[in-house]
């Protein structure tokens, strides 16, 4: 989302700078931008499809690869049924225009109910809450950081992440501006993070307890009779039920569980209520935890009852230039769905057409009709990114067929029979379909490919349509209508769709060709990007007709409160594991850039000195962390910045596995925290994985006591 300027010569990037003229990022970039050229130049990046044979991977032609992919999928589905072929979509799809527009084509062609994605290790609770409250899974409120006077953040570290469900390039500047105009930023996080330094105030909060904290804030709002609905007045339902629910959760009742004192909570509530404009924002720490669904709901509800939903300086909704909520032409995203089918083994419900990725391994490993025997991964590395990744690692080795659309031979794709590598990010055009939807300002920008792709190379979308068309031909013959439709799509490509989408969007000319509106041509003429201004109140128009109101007390959330209450008895005796991100990293896949990786070891366990002393752990010592699913050994970093009783380990490491072909990443291999996260530990309301607040045991590495504890 940040505008960048690349200075290039021949096929080489000489310099990467922030684009000062980009109206959104205004010159800001983060280190990930410099990695673009490293990805482009990386000798480990695959330039040709690969087939796994006895002696390792051998390059094959694209035609051979696509034909073989389709034939093997078709054969597998004929033998075992359509659901035997599963798909997993990873995070980089959402930064990839072609994959966003054409991913659905291959998913439809697979006709499988076994669809998974990184959504269920990430923002699923937000989508779940948006679906049940606003009637559309993508109506996600974004904090209007540029105009708010009071920002309360839970479990987010935007100074490392650059935002998240709040695309906000240069977030430090934006947070500093809040304080400069006399406002406040309050952060709740079990670690005093980089973002805590840009906040006016930081409070430790016990992992997994945010729902209790939020209920107490609501309790205070109701107790003080301070409810104000503002712009959503007349649109809401369930206010009385919300009041009745919050009544039980007084600050005194929850304080022992959250670790946030009554005084602190009352003071935060007072300032939230007194602020002219305030916004509450929750992210990974409040989302990928045991009560993620409740947190997302309560954050949105709190914004609503304090008059801050859909108003300037509050929690607002974007009006993106290509509006995938309303897009014509068949590439809009559906409102969402819940419980239309269930996973075979554990019986977990689908959401939005997907099953929780935490069940993927058991669906492969459990024999019986409907067992998953084939998997297509598209831009995903679930071995490092999903709970109990080690189990999934073993499961993948057992598949009859695995195909990966991915530029690397990594922890996941090393199991693939075929790897189909897309273009480098500098060889494809870019328009961010997803993150404009989550941005703190309405803007649009299109970037041309920097370099011409090598002749014959294919990008993600071409692989998607290429396999889909071949599958259709195998099923119905070469002259089938579907085959011809897909062939036409292949020649049209994503840019035509983008152009139609922009024309039909809120700033486009629509069907009126004489009206002067946004087109792809216009964006091409202004590579710095178009600015459509600050977010505007728009919820009334954006609520889907089929819903038409804001539900403050959705039935599934109310029912889930029983689980929350039950958890209050069982205070954790063990350390609670949480995650962290580093500004020079992105999940698992930027670790092959020397420029990003150099410097001291980042795959460490942050421990409070109190916990360290109890286990006899000194600064820098090797420690072992164990959970139900496995153990990892890494060095300890002692710091008061982490709350007592909590240990923090980053994810995306663990590259020392046989067959991984990542030269730099292997030097900084680290260990995978997802060998400790537990596929059985879920936010059962939404099916989202618990990656924060996982019980673990700590011991000095090689300590016999720890070993006996593990058995």
Interacting residues with ligand MGD (CB under 6 A): 32, 90-92, 96, 118, 121-122, 154-158, 160-162, 164, 188-191, 193, 205, 207-208, 210, 283-286, 289, 378-382, 385, 405-408, 410, 422, 460, 578-581, 583, 585-589, 648, 651-652, 673-674, 677, 691-693
Specify the residue, 629 or 692, whose C-beta has the smaller distance to ligand MGD: 692
Q: How far is the CB of 669 from ligand MGD (least distance, A)?
A: 15
Q: Is 38 in the site for Mo ion (CB under 5 A)?
A: no
Alpha-carbon span 133 to 129, nearest angstrom: 6
Contacts of 524 by beta carbon, 8 Å cutoff, 6+ apart: 446, 448
Beta strand 56-59 with 441-444 is unpaired
| 329 backbone φψ class: left, alpha, beta (φ>0; ψ -120 to 50) | left
Subset of residues 550 to 579 that bind Mo ion, contact rule: CB under 5 A: none
Specify the residue, 138 or 700, whose C-beta has the smaller distance to ligand MGD: 138
Q: How far is the CB of 26 from Mo ion (least distance, A)?
A: 25
Specify the residue, 35 or 607, whose C-beta has the smaller distance to Mo ion: 35
Q: How far is the CB of 381 from Mo ion (least distance, A)?
A: 12
Contacts of 508 by beta carbon, 8 Å cutoff, 6+ apart: 321, 502, 517, 518, 519
* Spatial CA neighbour of 3 closest among 314, 439, 498: 439
Q: Is 160 in the site for Mo ion (CB under 5 A)?
A: no
Q: How far is the CB of 119 from ligand MGD (least distance, A)?
A: 8
With 0-12 / 13-18 / 19 or more C-beta atoms within 10 angstroms meaning exposed / middle / buried, residue 580 is: buried
Q: How far is the CB of 686 from Mo ion (least distance, A)?
A: 15
Q: Which of Mo ion, ligand MGD, none binds 284 (CB below 5-8 Å, type-dependent)?
A: ligand MGD
Specify the residue, 197 or 515, whose C-beta has the smaller distance to ligand MGD: 197
Q: What are phi and psi of 150, to 5 degrees?
A: -150, 120
Alpha-carbon span 541 to 545, nearest angstrom: 9
Beta carbons of 542 and 229 less than 8 angstroms apart: no
Q: Where are the alpha helices (DSSP H) in 546-684?
A: 555-567, 594-597, 609-614, 663-667
DSSP label at residue 26:
T
Q: Which of ligand MGD, Mo ion, none binds 362 (CB below 5-8 Å, type-dependent)?
A: none
Q: Is 691 in the site for Mo ion (CB under 5 A)?
A: no
Q: How far is the CB of 8 from ligand MGD (least distance, A)?
A: 20
Q: How far is the CB of 423 from ligand MGD (least distance, A)?
A: 8
Specify the residue, 139 or 647, whose C-beta has the smaller distance to ligand MGD: 647
Beta carbons of 39 and 45 less than 8 angstroms apart: yes
Q: Which of Mo ion, ligand MGD, none binds 706 (CB below 5-8 Å, type-dependent)?
A: none
Q: How far is the CB of 118 from Mo ion (least distance, A)?
A: 6
Alpha-carbon span 413 to 660, nearest angstrom: 9
Q: Which of Mo ion, ligand MGD, none binds 125 (CB below 5-8 Å, type-dependent)?
A: none
Angle at 523 between CA 521 and CA 529, to 5 degrees: 170
Q: What are phi and psi of 683, to 5 degrees?
A: -80, 95
Select the residue whose beta carbon is closest to Mo ion and give its number.
122
Subset of residues 96 to 155 that bind Mo ion, contact rule: CB under 5 A: 122
Q: Is 19 in the site for Mo ion (CB under 5 A)?
A: no
Q: How far is the CB of 335 from ligand MGD (least distance, A)?
A: 23
Select the residue whose beta carbon is closest to ligand MGD and give its number.
285
Beta carbons of 288 and 119 less than 8 angstroms apart: no
Specify the residue, 122 or 678, whose C-beta has the smaller distance to Mo ion: 122
With 0-12 / 13-18 / 19 or more C-beta atoms within 10 angstroms meaning exposed / middle / buried, residue 145 is: buried
Specify the residue, 257 or 283, whose C-beta has the smaller distance to ligand MGD: 283
The number of beta carbons lying within 10 Å of the beta carbon of residue 248 is 12
Specify the residue, 139 or 159, whose C-beta has the smaller distance to ligand MGD: 159
Specify the residue, 79 or 595, whose C-beta has the smaller distance to ligand MGD: 595
Q: Which residues bind Mo ion (CB under 5 A)?
A: 122
């Amino acid at each position: 989302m940040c505008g960048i300027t690349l200075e290039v010569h021949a096929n080489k990037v000489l310099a990467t700078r922030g684009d000062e003229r980009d109206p959104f990022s205004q010159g800001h970039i983060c280190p990930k931008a410099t990695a673009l050229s490293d990805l482009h130049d990386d000798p480990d990046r695959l330039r040709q499809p690969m087939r796994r044979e006895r002696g390792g991977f051998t390059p094959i032609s694209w035609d051979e690869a696509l034909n073989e992919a389709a034939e093997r999928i078709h054969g597998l589905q004929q033998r075992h049924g359509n659901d035997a072929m599963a798909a997993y979509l990873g995070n980089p799809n959402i930064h990839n225009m072609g994959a966003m527009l054409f991913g659905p084509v291959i998913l439809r062609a697979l006709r499988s109910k076994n669809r998974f994605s990184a959504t269920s290790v990430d923002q699923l609770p937000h989508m779940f809450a948006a679906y049940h409250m606003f009637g559309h899974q993508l109506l996600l409120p974004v904090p209007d950081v540029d105009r708010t006077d009071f920002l309360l953040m839970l479990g987010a570290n935007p100074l490392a992440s650059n935002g998240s469900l709040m695309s906000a390039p240069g977030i430090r500047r934006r947070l500093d501006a809040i304080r400069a105009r006399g406002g406040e930023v309050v952060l709740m996080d079990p670690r005093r993070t980089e973002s805590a330094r840009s906040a006016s105030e930081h409070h430790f909060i016990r992992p997994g307890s945010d729902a209790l904290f939020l209920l107490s804030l609501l309790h205070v709002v109701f107790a003080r009779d301070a409810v104000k609905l503002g712009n959503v007045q007349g649109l809401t339902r369930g206010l009385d039920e919300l009041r009745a629910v919050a009544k039980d959760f007084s600050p005194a009742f929850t304080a022992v569980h959250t670790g946030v004192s009554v005084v602190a909570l009352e003071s935060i509530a007072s300032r939230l209520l007194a602020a002219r404009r305030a916004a509450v924002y929750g992210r990974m720490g409040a989302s990928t935890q045991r009560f993620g669904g409740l947190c997302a709901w309560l954050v949105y509800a709190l914004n609503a009852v304090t008059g801050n939903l859909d108003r300037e300086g509050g929690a607002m909704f974007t009006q993106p230039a290509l509006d995938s909520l309303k897009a014509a032409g068949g590439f809009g995203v559906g409102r969402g769905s819940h419980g239309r089918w269930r996973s075979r083994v554990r019986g977990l419900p689908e959401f939005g057409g997907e099953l929780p990725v935490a069940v993927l391994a058991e669906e492969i490993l459990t024999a019986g009709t409907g067992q998953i025997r084939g998997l297509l991964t598209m831009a995903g590395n679930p071995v490092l990114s999903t709970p109990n990744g080690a189990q999934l690692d073993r499961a993948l080795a057992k598949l009859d067929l695995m195909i990966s659309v991915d530029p690397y031979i990594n922890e996941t794709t090393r199991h693939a029979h075929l790897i189909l590598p897309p273009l480098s990010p500098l060889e494809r055009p870019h328009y961010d379909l997803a993150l404009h939807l989550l941005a703190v300002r309405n803007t649009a920008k299109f970037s041309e490919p920097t370099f011409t792709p090598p002749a014959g190379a294919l990008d993600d979308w071409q692989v998607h349509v290429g396999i889909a068309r071949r599958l259709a031909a195998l099923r119905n013959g070469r002259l089938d209508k579907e085959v011809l439709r897909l062939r036409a799509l292949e020649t049209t490509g994503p840019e035509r769709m983008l152009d139609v989408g922009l024309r039909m969007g809120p700033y486009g000319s629509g069907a009126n060709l004489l009206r002067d509106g946004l087109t792809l041509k216009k964006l091409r003429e202004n590579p710095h990007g178009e600015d459509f201004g600050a977010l505007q109140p728009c919820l009334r128009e954006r609520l889907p007709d089929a819903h038409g109101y804001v539900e403050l007390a959705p039935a599934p959330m109310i029912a889930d409160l029983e689980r929350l209450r039950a958890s209050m008895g069982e205070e954790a005796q063990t350390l609670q594991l949480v995650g962290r991100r580093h500004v020079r990293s992105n999940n698992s896949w930027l670790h092959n850039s020397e420029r990003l990786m150099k410097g001291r070891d980042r795959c460490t366990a942050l421990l409070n000195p109190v916990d360290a002393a109890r286990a006899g752990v000194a600064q820098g010592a090797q420690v072992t962390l164990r959970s139900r699913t496995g153990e990892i050994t890494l060095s300890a970093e002692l710091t008061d910045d982490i709350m007592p009783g909590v240990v923090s380990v980053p994810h995306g490491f663990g590259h020392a596995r046989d067959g991984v072909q990542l030269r730099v990443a292997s030097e900084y291999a680290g260990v995978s925290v997802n060998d400790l996260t537990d596929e059985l530990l879920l936010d059962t309301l939404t099916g989202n994985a618990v990656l924060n607040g996982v019980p673990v045991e700590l011991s000095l590495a090689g300590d016999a006591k720890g070993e006996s504890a593990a058995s």
